[in-house]
Structure 1
Amino acid sequence: MKIKKIRLVNFRNYARAELLPDARMTVLTGSNAQGKTNVLEALHLCCLGRSHRTPHDRDLIRWGEEAASVSVEVLHRDGTHDVSVTLSRADRRRKAVRVGGAQVARIGELMGHVNAVLFAPEDLSIVKGGPAERRRFIDMELSQLRPAYFYALQRYVRALNQRNNLLREMLRSPAARATLDAWDEQLALAGAQIVRHRREYVQALREAACACHRDIAGAGEALDVAYVTQLRADDGLAQDMLRLLREAREQDMRRAVTSVGPHRDDLRLTVAGREARVFGSQGQQRTVALSLKLAELSVVERERGEAPILLLDDVMSELDPRRRQQLIERIDGVQTIVTCTDLSDLAGARQGAVYRVEAGTLRQES
């Protein structure tokens, strides 16, 4: 998979801009707050149909404009895929997504046409943050890889919200309990699909991440990655979740919130047997985050049969020379778009194209 062209119209601080990425590495350099990250955000929008920085599409539309659009040409083994996303300030609830010129009815139909792995300084929260950060990490990549997972996640969130609303209503009207069984069944069916996909993905991620971590940190600081879920059964996951929901029903009714299910899952990250979130040094936590992101590249390539695009948002300056060199060596051959304020941060990397970013304009320098 290679990005051939990216076009922005009224996106963030760009009026109009076009980027022709190199097949290897494209560098976006310039001072802070000039629009470097906005280009990566635009690509991410074409991957998942939403920004990784804001839940509000209107934030992506240039000030004073009524609409914004991003279009991408992607070269796959089977030919070129054209993907575009148009946002409207007037209709905040809808975005127009087109693949091959035809508007798609569901966001899930966008998944897989543009696959990207994004690594930014804030990804340290995967290690340092709470379970929600780690679930989001899993969800973002799995949604790109497997549309079936994305749809199951949508169904689960809808059913979870309905069940929680019903639990709150039952505090006022106990008769509402009559419909609780129906929501439990929907939640269990969608939840079982989510857990099955997550287990498969984390197993593949674990193998790749542990190998990456061993190369960077050495065998003395072994990484382990484990998926933590309340569901125990290998088969009959839906029945297992239904049992958990019924066992927790009285507690859930008192608290008016659903206490069991994959929305409570976590990813346990340990280094030399100790939890990285609690006991890891800053350097160890960075190494774990880097290993997970490099593992994503490997897992996507294995499942898709072609490497995704790698987006590096000002991470080189955050890494020490040894980790930086490991990253450069491992991304050789992967199309990469990297932002930086100082080109010296990329010493040793084969830079294919360099763009200067200033106040929402792109100027190619090499």
Structure 2
Amino acid sequence: KGGRDRFTINKQPLSRISDISKTIPVTVFAAQDIEVVRGAPFVRRDFLDQCVAMLFPRGSSTISSVEKVLRQRGMLLKQSGGQLSPDIASTLDVWDQQLGLYGSKLAELRRDLVALITPYVAQAYRRISGGRELITLNYNCSWEGDLYEELVKSRKDDLRRQINGTGPHRDELEIDLDGHPIRHNGSQGEQRTAAYALKIAFHSLYKDRESEDPILLLDDVFSELDAQRSGAILGSVSAGQTILTTTGNIPKIIEPTMEIHIKNGMLVDTLY
């Protein structure tokens, strides 16, 4: 009451909210997933970081460290008024060293993830589309060489603009279909197929590495898909516990073990 939100599992507190994703792994499919493909670069970075946090032991802590450094460095740049005083220079060097360390590590984890997940994405895309298109992923780092050295080089420009101009928060995940950027050249159907292929790919990758099926949450996605694509998605991730929400009829390809009907926010029926 009146304080911070606290999360516990079996009465044991979690040190980070992000730990929930490791304790209760969930794969969520939603209509807005298409934004991972056609949206701004930060949406794709967020997708990568969610996967990194679940897949790699130090993923969550690395992401948290990068976010903290970027926040502190950004505040310092604004406080500087664009002037590099001795105190500002000394403090900025500390944050640059930290960002160089953790930012490089995060970029490395993201690249490792992209290398692992790309073949899964290609397989999932072909299965959903029923075609022979080739989808490829490429992690485009926003700097070359040593990140700390790049931060030192860009320090004057960062002070002038009072923003963090270099680092993993500027990187991009490029998604190409048959060699062309799907974000700009793909149809809405191709973009949606690619978005779901990314989700299926990580679901399968996590299962293979952790020997555990994440809970599957399908949030009103079938209204946007034809029967062939709907069946392909379910066929790819059907094992394990699945929760489906829909505003229409349940697709015929699904045989639910329990149905819960809600109207105007009230539970009206439960069928087993």
Per-residue displacement from partner, 1:184-235 (whole Å, max 9, x unpaired)? 01111111221121111111111100111122334542111111112456xx
Equivalent-residue separation in structure 2 for 1:174 and 1:225 (angstroms): 40
Equivalent-residue separation in structure 2 for 1:301 and 1:312 (angstroms): 18
Matched, 1:247 2:153: yes
1:127-276 correspondence runs (5 A): 127-146=37-56, 148-171=58-81, 173-175=83-85, 176-232=88-144, 240-276=146-182
Per-residue displacement from partner, 1:79-107 (whole Å, max 9, x unpaired)? xxxxxxxxx5x22xx11211222223443
2:224 to 296, 318, 324: 318
In the superposition, the TM-score normalised over structure 2's length comes to 0.92
| 1:341 partner letter | T
> Which ranges in structure 2 are unaligned for 5 or more consecutive residues?
none
Equivalent-residue separation in structure 2 for 1:214 and 1:111 (angstroms): 28
Secondary structure at 1:107 match in 2: coil
Per-residue displacement from partner, 1:45-66 (whole Å, max 9, x unpaired)? xxxxxxxxxxxxxxxxxxxxxx
What RMSD in Å do the two structures reach over aligned CA positions?
1.9
Matched, 1:339 2:251: no
* Structure 1 consecutive aligned stretches of length 4 or more whose deviation exceeds 6 Å: none
TM superposition shift of 1:146: 3.4
Per-residue displacement from partner, 1:130-152 (whole Å, max 9, x unpaired)? 10111111122322333521111
Are 1:111 and 1:146, in contact at CA under 8 Å, matched by a contact in 2? Answer: no
- The 3 A distance-change label for structure 1 pair 241 and 115 is same
TM superposition shift of 1:353: 1.6
> Which residue of 1 is the match for residue 261 of structure 2?
356
| 2:49 partner letter | D
| 1:144 partner letter | M
TM superposition shift of 1:154: 1.2
> Which residue of 2 is the match for residue 22 of structure 1?
none
TM superposition shift of 1:172: 5.8
> Which residue of 2 is the match for residue 14 of structure 1?
none
Equivalent-residue separation in structure 2 for 1:340 and 1:106 (angstroms): 32
Higher share of residues assigned strand: 1
> Which ranges in structure 1 are unaligned for 5 or more consecutive residues?
1-87, 234-239
> Quick check: 101-110 or 311-320, which moved more?
101-110
2:233 to 290, 311, 327: 327
Are 2:31 and 2:219, in contact at CA under 8 Å, matched by a contact in 1? Answer: yes
Higher share of residues assigned helix: 2
Instruction: Name the % identity.
Output: 30
In the superposition, the TM-score normalised over structure 1's length comes to 0.69
Per-residue displacement from partner, 1:11-31 (whole Å, max 9, x unpaired)? xxxxxxxxxxxxxxxxxxxxx
